[in-house]
Amino acid sequence: MVWIPPCPFAFLEENLLPKPSKQDFMRCAYNEALKAWECGEIPVGAVAVVQHSLIARAGNAVETQQDATAHAEMNLIRMISNQRHDWRLADVTLYVTKEPCPMCSGAILRARIPTVVVGAWDPLQGCLGGRIHFNQALQAYHQISVEEESLQGACEQLLTTFFSLRRQQEKNADRFRIDPQQDF
Ligand SMILES: [Zn+2]
């Protein structure tokens, strides 16, 4: 069981009326990431928007569901497809706090989602420009339009703080494990 640090960040105020901006939607995705953190997950959140209305929201749930595919974007895509009984999500704009990984970028492509708004870029695993770009790497029938959002700094800070707190705790745990042996 991986130790999860307590979340030091506060939820952002959500304002979805009368006409929300891109940042308003990203704030909702950010709050989903915080909820995921509080459930013991790596903090990533996503929301889906159709014609200026938020239609679904989800967070990472890999640990909770013990399912490697339960990333925020996958959970969101499943939720909407199940609701609609339709896998084609060609009218959906997806907002996500971290650039999608290979699995999620593939699912976005397959679901025909036309636009993804990204919070933090992922230079290690990101497949929408951070590491590679599926638009260029694959001969895809469908191109994904990728946009950046002004909440990028907060989204990056969320992940860097999460991993740095976890590393710090792991170091402390190592020290704690050694101490009793020295006493005896
Ligand atoms: Zn993913």
Ion ligand 1 nearby residues (CB, 5 A):
71, 101, 103-104
Does 32 participate in catalysis according to the annotation?
A: no
**Going edge to edge, which strands form the sheet with 45-50?**
53-59, 45-50, 93-98, 115-120, 145-148
Own/partner pairs for 34-38, CB < 8 Å, 24+ apart? 34/7, 34/9, 34/158, 35/59, 36/60, 36/61, 36/72, 37/4, 37/7, 37/9, 37/158, 37/162, 38/7
Higher pLDDT, 2 or 128: 128
Q: Is the pLDDT of residue 179 over 60?
A: no
Span from the CA of 103 to the centroid of ligand 1 (angstroms) = 5
Span from the CA of 68 to the centroid of ligand 1 (angstroms) = 9
32, 73, 99, 149: the catalytic one is 73
Q: Which two tokens stand for residue 85?
A: 């009984």
pLDDT band at 38 (very low <50, low <70, confident <90, very high): very high
- Cβ neighbours of 35 (radius 10 Å): 19
Span from the CA of 82 to the centroid of ligand 1 (angstroms) = 19
The 10s digit of each residue's pLDDT in 78-124 is: 999 999 999 999 999 999 999 999 999 999 999 999 999 999 999 99
Q: Which two tokens stand for residue 99?
A: 């650039």
